[in-house]
Amino acid sequence: MKAAIVLEAGKPPVYGNFDEPVPRLDQVLISVTAAALSPTTKSRAAGKHDSFPFVPGVDGIGRLPDGTRVYFALPEAPFGSMAERAVVKVKHCVRLPDDLDDVTAAAVGNPGMSSWAALKERARLVAGETVLVNGATGTAGRLAVQIAKHLGAKRIIATGRNPEALRLLPAVGADVTISLAQPAEVLEAAFQELFGRDGVDVVLDYLWGQSAELLIVAAARAGKDAVPIRYVEVGSASGASISLPSAALRSSALQLMGSGAGSIPIERLIGAVGELMQAVVPGHLRIDTEAIPLAEVEEVWTREGGNRRIVFMVA
């Protein structure tokens, strides 16, 4: 079968022939139609792997042997989603609604799952609450703003560094935008006022780093005598570690938690994707995409897509 093939760590995949996968009893063979190029997929392909060659791709869109169209996740190595066929566990597939196209479904699955699961499974968002999305100018953050609005958030605050992307966020649901491209003391004052004046119930953080330090301190101070602020760490685009004063946790009602495969059972994560897919069309959730034939994978792999999610068309 034709596939994108990673031959060695740190090198773009090449397009070529790869062995056919054979499903086990608890698995199903998927005829793949589309697979998105996500940061997770690129990261795994760039790192160490037990053996080479392998097919990259952690999720995708395809059809079951009976023709049912599904989103699928975690294909059995070394057969990733960027190939004509993949094998996955039956419980890692969710049926797609008829009005959701393959490209959009492939693009929205990975980034949309992060906020859908974080808001519903970890933060337990209640309709009418205020949500702050730290790092809302990227693909996942922009979707998080839309998903928070769809799930009933009354007020959404969005932060980011890209001024043009920040300017466009009110059109998808942001009520307040805050630029992170300003001195730390100015940003700290803005956060303090934000938490102290109007209050924030949930923070979804895609950045970590300095902005997280400032947000956590502001949230801790505001949450002392109030309903606990649920702070959910989702990504670390601005750094893998922070400096956190012990008093921020010891003397406040702040709830600091993470969201991902280690904190939510995989079956519930897959279930979250199923709910997300059902909501895309009626919720008018939007994501910018660029559909490209899988045969061009080597040329496109290292290209910056901006806020557009590249989707490889397999069939």
The answer, yes or no, to whether residue 150 has pLDDT greater than 90, is yes
| Average model confidence (pLDDT) across the chain | 93
**pLDDT per residue over 118-136, tens digit each?**
999 999 999 999 999 999 9
Query: pLDDT value at position 187?
Result: 93
Identify the band that residue 223 occupies on the pLDDT scale cut at 50, 70 and 90: low
How far apart are alpha carbons 21 and 162 in whole angstroms?
Answer: 43
Supply the pLDDT for residue 305: 63
The total of other beta-carbon atoms located within 10 Å of residue 148's CB is: 31
* pLDDT greater than 60 at residue 226: no
The residue ranking higher by pLDDT, 184 or 223, is 184
Those residues with Cβ within 8 angstroms of residue 68's Cβ, 6 or more apart along the chain or in another chain: 95
In terms of average pLDDT, the best of 31-45, 49-63, 283-297 is 283-297
Q: What is the set of domains in the chain, with CATH numbers?
A: 2-99+281-313 (3.90.180.10), 110-258 (3.40.50.720)
Residue 164 has pLDDT above 80, yes or no: yes
Query: Residue 148 has what DSSP assignment?
Result: H
Please say whether the beta carbons of 74 and 88 come within 8 A: yes
Return the closest-CA partner of residue 294 out of 76, 101, 78, 57. Answer: 57
